[in-house]
Structure 1
Amino acid sequence: MSEQKFAYDVSSPKSIENHAKKLENKSFREALDGLVIREKGNKGGLGQLLEKSHFGYEINSNAEPDFEEAGVELKTTPYIYRSKNRPVAKERLVLNIIDYMTLPHEKFENSSFWKKNQTLLLIFYLHQAKDVIPNRLDYQITHAQLFQFPEKDLKIIKADWEKIVEKVRQGKAHELSEGDTNYLGACTKGANKYSHRPQPYSDEYAMQRAFSLKTSYMTTVLNHYILPGKKTYHESILEENDLGEDTLESFILKKFNRFSGMSVDTIMSEVGEEVESKPKHFTARVASKMLNLDDRLEKTEEFRKANIKVKNITVSKKGKVKESMSFPAFKYKELIKEEWDSSTLREMFLNTRFLFVVFRYNEHNELFFEKALFWNIPHNDLEIEVREVWDETINRIKDGECRNLPTASENPVAHVRPHAQNKQDTYETPQGDHVVKKSFWLNNKYIEQQIGL
């Protein structure tokens, strides 16, 4: 390789970016210029291969940014196209490993996280199915661009970082979950599920974790800052300086709480909305108008970035939640191939934040807004109770008992029941039968406990 290939100013972010842009519209095979061919069997990450071949520096695990003089960290990350030709990030962006022993003594402004990730050089490539492109070296690199966190995102990321730090200070590093936070997560990062580290305020070892930007956040980065002509702007809850001293959660809850105790009719009158009828999803409309939005909450910029799912809960005048809470239907033949630690259900609970918006009927059958609260499933409820239901479901499917899956009376937290349009809406079982689609549900009595009834 010629020295000219590495001709860029290592102290200049712009020079580094310009050098990275030479990779655009090339496959990894072309970009690596024979490096992998000469080192057959190299299973390193695609980003690591680029570091050596295109930028000319050896792979390392330094605490400093990859380009230390310029303060630039290189990250290579894939995206895919989903339905309606919609580009989305394929996965979270993993940043630096969390050192539980030193983290509690850091301040954000001089933290290892901030030193390493203030300025990111994002190299995006298009990931495609194996039947389209069998070899990963033939994936196309499409964009290379410097990225710094927008100011209003940075406030939320800092609050996320502080929440992770506080959990470590409480001796609960083993209970960290990506559902704890909004944009910045603490994802598991190790050779396998047995990769554990000591933590300073507990004798219990914790899974090795790294700071990461959530998949939902990276999808927004991709669409708003990287892909030309693909901007999909949504309503925003925040203006640039709205948060002040608030976190995203406290800001949203303040907006809701000013309506506590009001009837939905009074709320809609206050926000200037006429109520001619109350369709099935009327409470979702009320929740949006309380935050002065025209569209559903989940379509806002902040909710999309944080992967916050809204669940509107209605409580009867007797103080009971009538409906259990459903999740997407599973396919019998695919479910039994999963392992708990990487299962779709566990990943969904770990990576999703929920906003419960609670309405209640009074003795006159009038519907009132009671409260809103953020929720993610407690560690033991997930790892003990939900797992028990998941394991039992797997066993019964394998035994040909798809019509007899765990019910709400068998577990205090979750159960399985039909989730289909009609009796003809089915999935094939491992035994070749066609059984109505089903999904996991949270028990209505469990939801009552979680919202404090």
Structure 2
Amino acid sequence: MTSPSNQEQLMRRCHALAGFTLGQLAAQIGCKVPANLKREKGWTGQLIEQALGASAGSKAEPDFPELGIELKTLPISRLGKPLESTYVCIAPLIGITHQSWNESWVCQKLSHVLWLPILAERDIPIAERVIGTGFLWQPNHEEQQLLQQDWEELMELIALGGIDRIRGAHGHVLQLRPKAANSHALTSAVGTHGEPIQTLPRGFYLKTSFTQRLLAKAFNSN
């Protein structure tokens, strides 16, 4: 699939997917549906990227770089509630003293997002999970402030050697959690006394309470 040339084309493609199961879409594209997602956590997102013509791959840029739009699939329950927090990007742990919010990868990733809900409760086989109606989102002033405040507080804790004191409860809308394939995948960070340490990589995630609000706003539900 070629990259969409404009936002309208992207949304036409996105809305055309609504109601398809992942199995139907995979068959259309010629992809094999995995038996489970434990080893292929990113499979759903990659399938949707392929169907929509996302071109960024693993590059440090939005999924649709020409449009400045990031794609985020959002697993939801039958009641329309997000099933898990949403991964945004890996967190830098060293050399971060002078980084500002506007320069951050979190800010850039979340500046314009195409959200695509997917009915994906665990008892539903992967091939039978249903694609919902996608919607575009740009953070309003209040949302931007909440994101920036959480990011700045978390980054300050990292810079001051408090990486191991950060828990998932930190932050109103944004949280920092370990992001590694296994416990041996360590990276450099700053310790309590400013000394270099090795720790698990961390990733920024949007909390489910935040993505629930975005869903409610998009679909005018309570």
TM-score by length of 2: 0.86
Alignment-derived partner of residue 32 in structure 2: 37
Q: Is the 8 A contact 2:20 2:130 kept in 1?
A: yes
**Cα distance, 1:39 vs structure 2:** 9.1
Q: Aligned pair count?
A: 215
**Partner Cα separation in structure 2 for residue 49 and residue 212 of structure 1:** 21
What displacement does 1:7 show?
6.8
In 2, Cα distance between the equivalents of 1:93 and 1:36? 24
Alignment-derived partner of residue 137 in structure 1: 127
User: 1:125 matched to which residue of 2?
Assistant: 118
Q: Output aligned runs, 1:385-404, within 5 Å.
A: none
Larger relative contact order (C-alpha < 8 A, sep ≥ 6)?
2
Contact 1:156 1:183 (8 Å CA) reproduced? yes
The reply on whether 1:169 has 2:169 as its aligned counterpart is no
2:62, 2:156 → 1: CA distance?
A: 25
1:89 aligned partner, one-letter code: P
Structure 1 unaligned regions, length at least 5:
233-453
Measured after TM superposition, the shift of residue 117 of structure 1 is 2.0
Change (3 A) 1:209 1:87: same
State the partner residue of 2:11. Answer: 17
For 2:32 and 2:57, how far apart are their aligned partners in 1?
A: 22
- Which amino acid letter does the alignment assign opposite residue 154 of structure 1? Q
1:89-104 aligned at under 5 Å gives the runs: 89-104=82-97
Helix, strand or coil for the counterpart of 2:154?
helix
| Cα separation, 2, equivalents of 1:213 and 1:148 | 14
Deviations 1:55-111 (A, max 9, x none): 234673222111112111111110113xxxx43110001011112124333111122
Q: CA separation in 2, counterparts of 1:65 and 1:202?
A: 34
SS for the counterpart of 1:49 is: helix
- Contact 1:51/1:59 (8 A) holds in 2: no
Q: How does 1:200-239 map to 2 (within 5 A)?
A: 200=190, 201-225=194-218, 227=219, 231-232=221-222
Q: CA deviation at 1:25?
A: 1.0
Q: Structure 1 residue 21: deviation in Å?
A: 1.4
Cα 1:129–1:181 change in 2 (3 A) is: closer
Residue identity matched to 2:48: L
Residue 20 of structure 1 and its aligned partner are, at CA, apart by 1.4
Amino acid at match of 1:172: G
Change (3 A) 1:7 1:71: closer
Where 2:188 maps in the other structure, the secondary structure is: strand
Which of 182, 186, 206 does residue 196 from structure 1 map onto? 186
Q: Is the 8 A contact 1:73 1:120 kept in 2?
A: yes
Q: TM-score, normalised by structure 1?
A: 0.44
C-alpha distance 8-69 of structure 1, shift in aligned 2 (>3 A): closer
Which of these two proteins has the greater Rg computed from alpha carbons? 1
Structure 1 residue 17 displacement after superposition: 2.3
Q: Which residue of 2 aligns with 1:74?
A: 71
Structure 1 partner of 2:106? 113
Task: Read off the aligned partner of 1:35 and give its amino acid letter.
Answer: G
Name the CA distance, whole Å, in 1 between partners of 2:168 and 2:33: 39
Checking the alignment, whether the CA contact within 8 Å between 1:48 and 1:59 is kept in structure 2 is no
